[in-house]
């Protein structure tokens, strides 16, 4: 099973709808195993990165609303900024980690372009 990162929109009635992906753009957030290893490995915690949203992936599918997109972007930037130290703690190579985080960042950018847009990793 794979994790995907998609854009959703909150509707006026409080429900959400997931938007179709963009053809030719990867929505991969990794394999199901990355739910635990990539997002919140003990090594990432030891690096002192201030992560709040990505670690929730170990317990549930985070639905990151428009008001939290900046925070998710900051977390992705922190991982990207220390990719050489982060990757070895996860058991994945730098390119794999960078690609997964890049897909999340791309979804954040798409969500920012949609009124009420957010990102779900599931």
Domain ranges of the chain: 2-18+28-121
Query: Which residue from 107, 101, 102, 111 is spatially nearest to 16, judged by alpha carbons?
Result: 111
Residue 8: the pLDDT is 98
Residue 31: the pLDDT is 86
Model confidence pLDDT, tens digit, residues 41-58: 666 777 777 788 888 888
Is the pLDDT at 94 greater than 90, yes or no? yes
Residue 41: the pLDDT is 64
- Integer Cα distance of 74 and 65 in angstroms: 15
Is the pLDDT at 113 greater than 90, yes or no? yes
**Token pair of 13, please?**
């009635």
* Contact between 49 and 82 (Cβ < 8 Å): yes
pTM recorded for the entire structure: 0.92
């Amino acid at each position: 099973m794979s994790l995907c990162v998609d854009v959703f929109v909150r509707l006026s009635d409080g429900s959400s709808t997931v938007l179709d992906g963009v053809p030719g753009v990867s929505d991969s957030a990794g394999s199901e195993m990355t739910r635990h290893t990539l997002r919140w490995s003990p090594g990432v915690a030891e690096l002192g990165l201030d992560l709040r949203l990505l670690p929730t992936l170990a317990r549930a599918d985070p639905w990151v609303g428009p008001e939290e997109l900046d925070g998710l972007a900051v977390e992705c930037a922190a991982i990207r900024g220390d990719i050489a130290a982060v990757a070895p703690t996860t058991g994945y190579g730098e390119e794999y980690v960078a690609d997964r985080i890049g897909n999340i960042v791309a979804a954040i950018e798409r969500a920012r372009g949609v009124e009420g847009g957010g990102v779900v990793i599931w």
